[in-house]
Amino acid sequence: MSKLRVHSLATFMTKTKSAAWKRIPTSYLLCENDKPVPLELQESMIATVKREGGDIDTERLFVSHSPHLAMPDKVAGFLRRAAGENCRDGAWSQN
């Protein structure tokens, strides 16, 4: 928690002009033990993206709201897979 920093309120209050997920394939890491953003809300957001034609891949971790702090290796693997690398079971190779 000591690594967390203040986040600008403007990012929550400013209306977006577009949604990148409508044009760019997207990956989402579901945090199954997230209290601020409950799993049901995360699943609802994913359903909305799919319903509106978004291309979204998901993975799940039983982790709280800050998976990058609690499970950095798992998050790094998720990001590498999202970027196109095959890194299951510790094997790292470009697709």
The pLDDT tens digits of the residues spanning 7-56 come to 888 888 888 888 888 999 999 999 999 999 999 999 999 999 999 999 99
87 vs 81: CA distance, rounded Å:
6
20 vs 16: CA distance, rounded Å:
10
Find the mean pLDDT for residues 65-78: 95
Contact status, residue 49 vs residue 26, Cβ threshold 8 Å? yes
Provide the annotated active-site residues.
Answer: 34, 65
Q: What are the residues whose beta carbons fall under 8 Å from the beta carbon of 79, sequence distance 6 or more?
A: none
Q: Is 67 exposed, middle or buried (0-12, 13-18, 19+ CB in 10 A)?
A: buried
